[in-house]
Amino acid sequence: MHDPAPDPMPDPGPGSAPRSGTEASPLAALFRALADVYAAEGRAGGDAAAAAYREAAGRLDAAPPARPHPPLHLLVTECRAALAAASHPAARAALAAEALLPWRSSDVPGSALNASARALFAVAPLIGPGALVEIAGLRAGLFLQRPEALYPLHAHAAEETYAVLHGAADWTLDAVTTRHDAGALIHHPAHGAHATRTGPAPMLAAWRWSGDIRLETYRMVGPAR
């Protein structure tokens, strides 16, 4: 069973102004850090994600302070000590906004992702349909994979880019495996079969989907080799 989706952040409207005289929203700071990550990707999907994150940050600035989303997903709690050493600006922003993030199990339909694979990671959908901030046409958020874990080969119709924010992993795409550390951007074309294997530390990453973002297109392909 999936954890319930958070209440989407209301859109204050185009005439709303940012809050004044108060500390900046930690969520807005995170969204702007993620916008910077995807602005550097050099693809149309990355540009769209960067623009969406900036739009969402503006909504958060103009909205009432966000409410916490307790309790944290168990995996986030287990990995907190390791994540405290993160130095990437977006990772630091995610830690500062931790209590406000909607960490949960994957939103992929249960029949497409088996229980053992589902236990390997947690996601925090930040923008897109059913996410913290409702924005049509794309999905993006955070991803946390436990240490010494293989997320087996899978594919989906959306084209996807991960940005490693903390830790490292071996990424397999179309039978080619490459090691990527914090700061790396990893792109998966639509329907490209890909897998991720972590080492002794957990991996925190950002992800985005564009194109055909229907969750129903997700499918497991088989074990990574």
Domains of the chain: which residue ranges?
26-222
Quick check: helix, strand or coil at residue 125? strand
Q: Higher model confidence: residue 195 or residue 13?
A: 195
Angle at 94 between CA 146 and CA 32, to 5 degrees: 135
Q: How confident is the model at residue 23 (pLDDT cuts 50, 70, 90)?
A: low
CA distance 106 to 43: 26
Q: What is the mean pLDDT of residues 193-219?
A: 96
- In whole angstroms, what is the distance from residue 215 CA to residue 156 CA? 8
- Span 132-174, pLDDT tens digits: 999 999 999 999 999 999 999 999 999 999 999 999 999 999 8
Residue 6 has pLDDT above 50, yes or no: no
Of the ranges 29-43, 66-80, 139-153, which one carries the lowest mean pLDDT score? Answer: 66-80
Structural tokens at position 75: 């995996």
Residue range 179-207: mean pLDDT, rounded: 96
> Is a pLDDT exceeding 90 seen at residue 74?
no
Please work out, in degrees rounded to the nearest 5, the angle formed at the alpha carbon of residue 110 by the alpha carbons of 163 and 73. 55
Give, in degrees to the nearest 5, the angle at Cα 31 between 209 and 118: 45
What SS3 state is found at 52? helix
Burial class of residue 37 in the structure, from the number of CB atoms within 10 Å of its CB (0-12 exposed, 13-18 middle, 19+ buried) = buried
Tokens, residue 43: 């693809």
- Looking at the chain, the whole-number percentage of residues with pLDDT higher than 70 is 87
Quick one: angle between helices 26-39 and 44-62, nearest 10? Answer: 160
- What does the pLDDT read at residue 70? 66
pLDDT of residue 15: 33
Q: Which single residue is written with the structure tokens 């550390």?
A: 181
Q: What is the mean pLDDT of the chain?
A: 87
> Average pLDDT for residues 123-138, to the nearest whole number?
95
Q: What pTM value is reported for the model?
A: 0.87
- pLDDT score at 21: 39
Q: What homologous superfamily is domain 26-222 in, according to CATH?
A: Jelly Rolls (2.60.120.10)
